[in-house]
């Protein structure tokens, strides 16, 4: 197989099918490293990774931190509350400052869509998108695809439904693109305010009816519902959302296949988008997703470090 | 291109046999305690063959493993795009075991250095011994093999290629003028 | 002061002239009777057009003198072939009283390159609540009223503005946008914005205000002018309004004619403006309207921003692009040279027609007409690069374009105010 030639991980959009496979193959190796007695390899010694988290996210940040440390990279964290961002420093200022400190890779989480792309064009370090607004969250999609591959052996032909606030979800966008590249069949489901018809342009089916997204599907991927959405009139009430879109045992018993799998990017609002017994039940792969997150992020750090860091290009 | 055949099929097999005999001879009392681990991509095949041979001779089948040393390489910052990694499979606890580390060609010693580093991350062996099919000289690190199939000093500009049936469909050792270092 | 322009290709759509000849100017006016002068411009190989009129320019003085002041805006205007520009009122503080109008008129006269007409704010602070002292402002030289940058949100206030302007002959210029529908959008809403996860500005945010204004204008029998129309729906609604007898005029910008949402580079805020670059369909409709003569003016919506403000992530950067120095060349290259519209139509849209909306005189090659001319080398090819701008800002979506048509001289009131290379 071709070596991995990307310098940045900006989105699933930018990856070819083969590149997705390379990342997942490498992630499986990384997963075995995590099972060793000494769960650390010297691979990224001397490489410094900056984690720029402008949105609160303990889970993704911790996952990246563990991945970086398992590979022996040095890490520094910049979060909104500690950085000069509050003093009016721009993203570019912050990044250029880090670069002057010889940072090799930048992991960025930002509420502004496409800010990693913006950064990638302006600094020499490798940029890894850890979630940009409602645009993409490629590492989440990759860890989800790894979870699916482990469970089903193959993603091609899998029937996956993604349910919830599709409009505001970077996970939905990245996962949809990734699954389609790998030949899965995707249905998007949610109330119309969360599911503009433009999503059909991805080449997926959209439905406003939960039943249609449950019947005969291999995987039900449930998105987190932000309670604030009621204020902007996207939802009449949480009560109404729960009534028509919450994935609970009753809905699964009535419509789902027996062997259906439930996934969620976390953290789960138990009792809102997912009933507690479903989130914690035998269908759920949610904790597998978390473990795979570290492996996928290690794989990406390893693969990108060949192009971005001080090492030359062939 | 002026390629030179160092060993043919029978030559390779003969050398593997003699390597196995040497391993048995030196570890006769501890043969139950050895574990053979090959370095990918050909050391792991050689390890498998050595184990079979030892089984035939002694009736004891030592556990066989493989390691991929990519994550431990010392040249990662200079080689550009990352090589894809194979799995490391260690079949048993290596604590207090005698580990026979196997590779096809010993050259600078850097691969072995990486393999030693990786091995100790899996446990603390009683000792590690090194077996190689070809020692071509040119060491850049103080590493000395315990078992050598054939030793021949080969010029830096040349590449020593080992072919094994399981991977390549043919068998032999050829000295080539091609550029070195295709991973 | 006399100037003789010799052997120039005189191209004046208003008087239907297209021929090589000489033009003699005396005391700022075209004169049939040639006199001796040493002041000769060799016009061989150049076209002489009536100078352009931009009815939509943002000058940032006061408040943003380092971004675009009267000097830099004037230089940019004459380098683009303009003799006249309208200054929008959204400065800091805004042009919302007669003192501010006087300030603009004085500053423009002091610089003395281009005619600058202030457009006054229709409401105090452009807040859409209380009307400005419009009569006093007109007396001091206001050419029109607009809260541009913002719409007049409240229809009752809009009604009062149109009513109060009755009988003055002065027009209200609407920035048609429902800001509630635009919300926090930064590009055209559609498949593309959805894919990028970027909040969008839907076409209906423009069109819904267009139809509201048309109906209010009809109700009051008042004329209305729309700034920067960008959608097909707005064009249809304007046609509907005209059929009902409403006196509607409107302008389109070069960037909405030449670019659409597919040209947006999401890492480059030089493609961020309001209204946003629309769909292919909208752009096609604008071009069609241009070809049919349905459009009243091409106006630049020249909106300078400094690099430090534009060099931000797309969603955070301010709206707006500059246009004075690229309008003619880009439109000439893409439309005239490619046969979309004729040269005479382009000159009409950039000079004759905008003058007509606001009852201004343009340069004409007729005895006694004002000598506002631009001389252009149509064959000259040039690349739009940052170093070529006279504006203090560089935020152009046309950077890197190879275009034809370079302004060689601009003459305002018989005075050479721009000479290429000077």
Task: Report pLDDT digits (tens) over B7-30.
Answer: 999 999 999 999 999 999 999 999
Candidates A112, A134, A199; nearest CB to C316: A112
- Which chain A residue is nearest to residue B71, measuring alpha carbons? A43
The answer to whether residue A311 scores a pLDDT higher than 80 is: no
Read off the pLDDT of residues A242-264 as tens digits, 9 standing for 90 and up. Answer: 999 999 999 999 999 999 999 99
For tokens 């000077």, name the residue.
C422
Read off the pLDDT of residues C17-33 as tens digits, 9 standing for 90 and up. Answer: 999 999 999 999 999 88
Query: CA nearest C314: which of A118, A136, A138, A88?
Result: A118
Read off the pLDDT of residues B31-65 as tens digits, 9 standing for 90 and up. Answer: 999 999 999 989 999 999 999 999 999 999 999 99
Q: What is the mean pLDDT of residues C192-219?
A: 98
- To the nearest 10 degrees (0 to 180), the angle between helices C280-292 and C232-243 is 40
Chains that touch B (3 or more CB pairs under 8 A): A
Read off the pLDDT of residues C328-386 as tens digits, 9 standing for 90 and up. Answer: 999 999 999 999 999 999 999 999 999 999 999 887 888 888 999 999 999 999 999 99
> Whole-angstrom Cα distance, residue A79 to residue C195?
27
Per the structure block, which two tokens stand in for C108? 């423009």
Q: What is the mean pLDDT of residues A262-291?
A: 88
Q: What is the mean pLDDT of residues A169-186?
A: 98
CA angle B150, B155, B157 (to 5 degrees): 130
For tokens 């249905």, name the residue.
A187
- Measured in whole angstroms, the distance separating CA A178 from the mean position of its chain's CA atoms is 11
The pLDDT of residue A81 = 63
CA angle A299, A300, A305 (to 5 degrees): 105
The pLDDT of residue A42 = 94
User: Cβ contact (<8 Å) for A198 and C198?
Assistant: no
Query: CA nearest B39: which of B143, B126, B142, B140?
Result: B143
The pLDDT of residue B4 = 87
Q: Please report which confidence band the pLDDT of residue A2 belongs to, taking 50, 70 and 90 as the band edges.
A: low
Decide the pairing of beta strands C415-419 and C402-412: antiparallel
- Measured in whole angstroms, the distance separating CA B36 from the mean position of its chain's CA atoms is 10
- Measured in whole angstroms, the distance separating CA C72 from the mean position of its chain's CA atoms is 16
Share of chain C above pLDDT 90, in %: 94
Q: Compute the nearest-CA separation of B100 from chain A (Å).
A: 20
> Whole-angstrom Cα distance, residue A236 to residue A224?
17
CATH number of B12-156: 3.30.420.40, 3.40.50.2300, 3.40.50.300, 3.40.50.2020? 3.40.50.2020
- Domain annotation for chain A: domains and CATH numbers: 12-136+292-308 (3.40.50.1370), 138-289 (3.40.50.1370)
User: Which chain C residues contact residue A108 at CB under 8 A?
Assistant: none
Checking ipTM against 0.90, whether it exceeds it is yes
The answer to whether residue A80 scores a pLDDT higher than 80 is: no
The answer to whether residue B74 scores a pLDDT higher than 90 is: no
Q: Where are the beta strands (DSSP E) in A58-209?
A: 74-79, 105-110, 126-132, 159-163, 185-189, 205-207
Per the annotation, the verdict on C236 as an active-site residue is: no
> Whole-angstrom Cα distance, residue C342 to residue C332?
9
CA angle C399, C402, C404 (to 5 degrees): 125
For tokens 């990279």, name the residue.
A73
Domain ranges in chain C are: 51-362+392-398
Q: Which of B70, B75, B76, B117 to mutate to test the interface with A (most CBs of A within 10 A)?
A: B76
The answer to whether residue A70 scores a pLDDT higher than 90 is: yes
The answer to whether residue B183 scores a pLDDT higher than 70 is: no
Q: What is the mean pLDDT of residues C91-104?
A: 97
CA angle A112, A117, C389 (to 5 degrees): 95
Per the structure block, which two tokens stand in for C240? 């509907």
Beta carbons within 8 Å of A189's beta carbon, 6+ residues apart: A161, A162, A163, A164, A166, A195, A206, A207, A208, A209, A210, A212, A213, A245
B–C contact: 3+ Cβ pairs < 8 A? no
Read off the pLDDT of residues C138-167 as tens digits, 9 standing for 90 and up. Answer: 999 999 999 999 999 999 999 999 999 999
Query: CA nearest B151: which of B136, B130, B138?
Result: B136
User: Which chain A residues contact residue C316 at CB under 8 A?
Assistant: 112
The pLDDT of residue A241 = 94
A93 touches chain C (CB under 8 A): no
Mean pLDDT, rounded, of chain C: 96
Per the structure block, which two tokens stand in for A218? 């291999």
- Which chain A residue is nearest to residue B75, measuring alpha carbons? A311
The pLDDT of residue C422 = 76
The answer to whether residue C270 scores a pLDDT higher than 50 is: yes
Q: Please report which confidence band the pLDDT of residue A85 belongs to, taking 50, 70 and 90 as the band edges.
A: low
Query: Measured in Å, how far apart are chain C's first and last C-alpha atoms?
Result: 20
The pLDDT of residue A229 = 73
Q: Please report which confidence band the pLDDT of residue C245 belongs to, taking 50, 70 and 90 as the band edges.
A: very high
The answer to whether residue A313 scores a pLDDT higher than 50 is: no
Decide the pairing of beta strands C40-42 and C2-12: parallel
C124 touches chain A (CB under 8 A): no
Stated length of chain A = 314
Q: Where are the alpha helices (DSSP H) in C20-174?
A: 70-79, 98-111, 134-139, 155-165
Q: What is the mean pLDDT of residues C189-193?
A: 97
More confident: B89 or C252: C252
More confident: A278 or C172: C172
Read off the pLDDT of residues A151-172 as tens digits, 9 standing for 90 and up. Answer: 999 999 999 999 999 999 999 9
Per the structure block, which two tokens stand in for B165? 């049936």
User: Which chain A residues contact residue B70 at CB under 8 A?
Assistant: 43
Interface of C with A in 288-327 (CB under 8 A): 311-316
Q: What is the mean pLDDT of residues A88-96?
A: 83
- Measured in whole angstroms, the distance separating CA C236 from the mean position of its chain's CA atoms is 22
User: Cβ contact (<8 Å) for A38 and B85?
Assistant: no
User: Which chain C residues contact residue A201 at CB under 8 A?
Assistant: 191, 194-195
The answer to whether residue A188 scores a pLDDT higher than 50 is: yes
Would you call B105 helix, strand, or coil by DSSP?
Answer: strand
HSE toward the beta carbon, residue B102, CA cutoff 13 A: 27
User: Cβ contact (<8 Å) for C266 and A117?
Assistant: yes
> Whole-angstrom Cα distance, residue C13 to residue C11?
6
In this structure, are residues C146 and C174 in contact, taking their beta carbons and an 8 Å threshold? Answer: yes
- Which CATH superfamily includes the segment(s) C51-362+392-398? Metal-dependent hydrolases (3.20.20.140)
User: Cβ contact (<8 Å) for A135 and C196?
Assistant: yes
Q: Dihedral through CA A187, CA A193, CA A197, CA A203, nearest 10? A: -30
Q: What is the mean pLDDT of residues A292-312?
A: 81
Mean pLDDT, rounded, of chain A: 91
The pLDDT of residue A283 = 84
Q: Where are the alpha helices (DSSP H) in chain B?
A: 9-26, 43-58, 110-122, 165-168
A4 touches chain B (CB under 8 A): yes
More confident: C366 or C56: C56
Read off the pLDDT of residues B154-171 as tens digits, 9 standing for 90 and up. Answer: 999 999 999 999 999 999
Per the structure block, which two tokens stand in for C134? 């419009």
For tokens 């071709």, name the residue.
A2
Edge-first strand listing for the sheet containing B4-7: B4-7, B172-176, B159-163
In this structure, are residues C51 and C373 in contact, taking their beta carbons and an 8 Å threshold? Answer: yes
In this structure, are residues C172 and C137 in contact, taking their beta carbons and an 8 Å threshold? Answer: no
* Confidence (pTM): 0.91
- Catalytic hit among C282, C301, C372, C413: C301
Domain ranges in chain B are: 12-156
A221 touches chain B (CB under 8 A): no
Q: Please report which confidence band the pLDDT of residue A91 belongs to, taking 50, 70 and 90 as the band edges.
A: confident
């Amino acid at each position: 197989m071709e070596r991995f030639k990307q310098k940045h991980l900006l989105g699933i959009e930018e990856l070819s099918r083969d590149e997705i496979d390379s990342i997942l193959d490498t992630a499986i190796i990384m997963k075995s490293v995590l099972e060793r007695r000494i769960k650390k390899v010297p691979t990224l010694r001397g490489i410094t990774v900056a984690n720029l988290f402008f949105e609160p996210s303990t889970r993704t940040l911790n996952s990246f931190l563990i991945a970086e440390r398992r590979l022996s990279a040095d890490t520094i964290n910049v979060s909104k509350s500690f950085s000069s961002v509050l003093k009016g420093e721009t993203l570019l200022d912050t990044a250029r400052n880090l670069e002057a400190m010889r940072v090799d890779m930048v992991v960025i989480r930002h509420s502004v869509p496409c800010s990693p792309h913006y950064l990638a064009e302006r600094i020499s370090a490798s940029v890894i998108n850890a979630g940009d607004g409602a645009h993409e969250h490629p590492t989440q999609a990759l860890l989800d695809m790894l979870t699916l591959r482990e469970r089903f052996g193959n993603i091609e032909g899998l029937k996956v439904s993604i349910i919830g606030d599709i409009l505001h979800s970077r996970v939905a966008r990245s996962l949809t693109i990734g699954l389609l590249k790998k030949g899965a069949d995707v249905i998007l489901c949610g109330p119309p305010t969360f599911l503009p018809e433009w999503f059909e342009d991805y080449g997926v089916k959209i439905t406003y009816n939960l039943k249609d997204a449950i019947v005969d599907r291999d995987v039900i991927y449930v998105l987190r519902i932000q309670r604030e959405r009621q204020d902007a009139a996207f939802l009449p009430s949480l009560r109404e959302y729960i009534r028509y879109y919450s994935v609970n045992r009753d809905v699964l018993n009535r419509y789902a296949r027996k062997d259906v799998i439930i996934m969620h990017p976390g953290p789960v609002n138990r009792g809102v988008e997912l009933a507690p017994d479903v989130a914690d039940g035998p269908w759920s792969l949610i904790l597998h997703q978390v473990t795979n997150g570290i492996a996928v992020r290690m794989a990406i750090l390893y693969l990108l470090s060949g192009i971005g860091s001080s090492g030359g290009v062939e | 291109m002026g390629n030179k055949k160092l060993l043919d099929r029978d030559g390779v097999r003969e050398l593997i046999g003699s390597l196995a005999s040497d391993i048995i001879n030196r570890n006769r009392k501890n043969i139950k305690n050895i574990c053979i681990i090959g370095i990918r991509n050909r050391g792991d095949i050689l390890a498998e063959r050595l184990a079979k041979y030892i089984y035939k001779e002694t009736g004891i089948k030592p556990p066989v493993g493989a390691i991929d040393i990519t994550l431990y390489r010392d040249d990662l910052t200079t080689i550009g795009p990352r090589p894809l990694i194979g799995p490391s499979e260690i079949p048993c606890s290596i604590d207090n075991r005698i580990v026979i580390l196997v590779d096809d060609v010993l050259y600078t010693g850097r691969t072995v250095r990486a393999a030693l580093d990786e091995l100790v991350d899996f446990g603390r062996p009683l000792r590690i011994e090194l077996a190689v099919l070809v020692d071509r000289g040119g060491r850049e690190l103080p590493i000395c093999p315990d078992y050598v199939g054939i030793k021949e000093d080969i010029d830096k500009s040349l590449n020593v290629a080992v072919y094994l049936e399981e991977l390549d469909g043919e068998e032999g050792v050829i000295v080539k003028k091609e550029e070195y270092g295709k991973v | 002061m006399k100037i003789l322009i010799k052997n120039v290709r005189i191209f004046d759509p208003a008087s239907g002239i297209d021929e090589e000849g000489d033009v003699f100017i005396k005391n700022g006016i075209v004169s049939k009777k040639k006199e001796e002068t040493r002041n000769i411009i060799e016009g061989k190989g150049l076209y002489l057009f009536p100078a352009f009129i931009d009815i939509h320019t943002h000058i940032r003085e006061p408040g943003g003198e380092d971004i675009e002041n009267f000097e830099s805006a004037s230089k940019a205007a004459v380098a683009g072939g303009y003799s006249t520009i309208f200054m929008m009122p959204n400065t800091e503080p805004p042009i919302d009283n007669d003192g501010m109008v006087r300030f603009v008129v004085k500053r423009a006269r002091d610089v003395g390159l281009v005619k600058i007409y202030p457009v006054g704010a229709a409401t105090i602070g452009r807040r859409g609540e209380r009307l400005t002292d419009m009569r006093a402002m007109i007396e001091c030289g206001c050419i029109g009223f607009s809260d541009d940058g913002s719409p007049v949100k409240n229809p009752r206030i809009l009604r009062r503005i149109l009513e109060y302007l009755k009988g003055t002959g002065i027009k209200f210029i609407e920035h048609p946008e429902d800001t509630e529908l635009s919300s926090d959008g930064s590009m055209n809403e559609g498949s593309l914005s959805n894919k990028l996860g970027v909040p969008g500005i839907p076409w209906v945010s423009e069109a819904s205000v267009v139809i509201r204004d048309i109906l209010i204008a009809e109700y009051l029998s008042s004329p209305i002018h729309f700034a920067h129309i960008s959608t097909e729906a707005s064009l249809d609604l304007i046609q509907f309004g005209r059929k009902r007898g409403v006196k509607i005029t409107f302008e389109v910008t070069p960037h909405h004619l030449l670019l659409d949402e597919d040209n947006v580079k999401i890492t480059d805020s030089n493609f961020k403006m309001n209204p946003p670059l629309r769909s292919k369909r909208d752009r096609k409709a604008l071009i069609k309207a241009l070809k049919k003569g349905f459009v009243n003016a091409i106006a630049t919506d020249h909106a300078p921003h400094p690099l430090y403000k534009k060099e931000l992530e797309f969603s955070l950067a301010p709206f707006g692009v500059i246009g004075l120095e690229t309008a003619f060349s880009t439109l000439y290259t893409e439309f005239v040279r490619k046969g979309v519209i004729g040269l005479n139509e382009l000159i009409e849209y950039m000079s004759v027609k905008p003058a007509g909306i606001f009852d201004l005189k343009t340069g004409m090659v007729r005895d006694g007409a004002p000598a506002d001319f631009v001389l252009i080398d149509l064959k000259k090819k040039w690349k739009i690069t940052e170093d070529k701008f006279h504006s203090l800002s560089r935020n152009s979506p046309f950077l890197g374009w190879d275009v034809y048509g370079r302004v060689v001289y601009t003459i305002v009131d018989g005075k050479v105010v721009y000479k290429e290379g000077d």
